[in-house]
């Protein structure tokens, strides 16, 4: 069966449909075989959960074809700002924040790029993601930004983050779990910069980490504890539909249920929330990337099941409050 039919093979009633959600991580793109634009986003966010606002995160869409190389990513902000205007003028979740790309290794000179993003963002530009995911194994794909092994340790990279923070902007960090110690050093070095760590800190389950969940956890948890002590770092709780986490959802005959996701990830998710605190954690969809493994309604049902024992105020933070504070929505 095709992927849409596979996702539809598992359906559930939406739990707690009146709980407001800010989805702080999704993409928009036009690919020949996989377009995900406002119509597709609205189909997902409008599928039963009360998603009121969202945040777009960079994915190399709409880059400028001409001009200085460092300024070409500003085209993505311009492209998404136009889509966001439509989202605000029509029924459904509004794209309320934009996170784009700038090369942090430009150091202080990244200011010109950031200023161009701000100008192009129509009031929605919130910060930068410069993905630094790198692994020594050829069986793990490095991030789309082609990072070097020690990028986060470079003085120029840290200077770029300090410039970002001085302009009132935030940083999204996307890296792999073996790099968490390096990320902790970065976060400790720039305590004035608001940072959100994407996708649970990426506990990998492919390549040399395949079928080694317990060993990965033994490395991942102590590093996450250290990061949790950095008060400038928040956490995006999600990414659990991605193939690189090794669950193999996409290989099953039917799509996973929220009970499947809760059984696989509930303990680790609750552990991270308890370490960081609900006021520094935000559930995220990471769509359409996580759509390779789970449908939008089922994913948010799983989050609601995982968070069932938190207080009403803590649930408000996990599903909307933390994201809205972090991204100034």
Beta strands in the chain (DSSP E): 20-26, 29-31, 34-36, 50-57, 94-100, 125-129, 170-173, 195-197, 233-237, 281-283
What pLDDT is attached to residue 33?
85
Closest CA to 292 of 58, 79, 2: 2
Partnered with residue 23 across adjacent β-strands are 54
- pLDDT of 32 reads 86
Q: What is the CATH number of domain 3-9+20-326?
A: 3.20.20.140
Tens of pLDDT along 9-46? Answer: 999 999 999 999 999 999 999 988 899 999 999 999 99
Kindly tell me the burial class for residue 85, based on how many C-beta atoms sit within 10 Å of its own C-beta (0-12, 13-18, 19 or more): middle
d(CA 55, CA 57): 6
**Cα radius of gyration (the chain):** 19
- Cα–Cα dist 31/23, whole Å: 22
Residues with Cβ within 8 Å of 270's Cβ and at least 6 positions away in sequence, in order, are 306
What is the structure's pLDDT at 189? 98
Tens of pLDDT, residue by residue over 276-285, are: 999 999 999 9
Contact 221, 271 (CB under 8 A): yes
Q: What's the pLDDT tens digit per position in 226-276?
A: 999 999 999 999 999 999 999 999 999 999 999 999 999 999 999 999 999
Q: What is the mean pLDDT of the chain?
A: 97
Band of the pLDDT at 310, cuts 50, 70, 90? very high
- The per-residue pLDDT for range 122-164, each reduced to its tens digit, is 999 999 999 999 999 999 999 999 999 999 999 999 999 999 9
Q: How confident is the model at residue 176 (pLDDT cuts 50, 70, 90)?
A: very high
The residues spanned by each domain of the chain are 3-9+20-326
On the question of pLDDT at 59 being above 90, the answer is: yes
State the Cα–Cα distance between residues 196 and 236, nearest whole angstrom: 7
Supply the pTM of this predicted model. Answer: 0.97
Whether the per-residue pLDDT at 68 is higher than 90: the answer is yes
- How crowded is residue 121: how many other Cβ atoms within 10 Å of its Cβ? 19
Give yes or no for a contact between 70 and 102, defined as CB atoms under 8 angstroms apart: yes
């Amino acid at each position: 069966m095709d992927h849409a039919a596979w996702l539809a093979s598992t359906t559930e009633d939406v739990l707690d449909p009146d709980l407001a959600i800010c989805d702080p991580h999704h993409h928009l793109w036009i690919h020949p075989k996989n377009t995900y634009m406002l119509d597709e986003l609205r189909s997902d966010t409008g599928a039963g959960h009360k998603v009121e606002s969202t945040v777009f995160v960079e994915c190399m869409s709409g880059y400028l074809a001409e001009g200085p190389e460092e300024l070409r990513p500003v085209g993505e902000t311009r492209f998404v700002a136009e889509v966001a205007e439509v989202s605000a003028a029509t029924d459904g979740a509004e794209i309320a924040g934009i996170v784009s790309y700038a090369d942090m290794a430009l150091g202080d000179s990244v200011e010109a790029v950031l200023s161009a993003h701000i100008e192009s963002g129509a009031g929605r530009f919130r910060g930068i993601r410069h993905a630094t995911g790198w692994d020594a194994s050829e069986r793990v794909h490095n991030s789309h930004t082609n990072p070097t092994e020690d990028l986060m340790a470079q003085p120029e990279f840290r200077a770029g983050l300090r410039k970002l923070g001085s302009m009132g902007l935030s940083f999204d960090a996307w890296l792999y779990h073996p790099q968490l110690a390096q990320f902790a050093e970065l976060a400790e070095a720039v305590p004035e910069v608001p940072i959100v760590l994407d996708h649970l800190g990426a506990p990998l389950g492919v390549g040399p980490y395949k079928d080694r969940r317990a060993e990965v956890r033994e490395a991942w948890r102590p590093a996450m504890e250290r990061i949790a002590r950095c008060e400038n770092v928040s956490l995006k709780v999600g990414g659990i539909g991605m193939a690189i986490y090794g669950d193999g959802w996409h290989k099953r005959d039917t799509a996973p249920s929220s009970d499947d996701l809760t059984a696989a990830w509930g303990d680790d998710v609750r552990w991270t929330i308890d370490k960081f605190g609900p006021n520094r954690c935000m559930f995220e969809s990471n769509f359409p990337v996580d759509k390779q493994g789970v449908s939008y309604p089922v994913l948010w049902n799983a989050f609601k099941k995982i968070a069932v024992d938190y207080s009403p105020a803590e649930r408000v933070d996990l599903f909307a409050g933390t994201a809205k504070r972090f991204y100034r929505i």
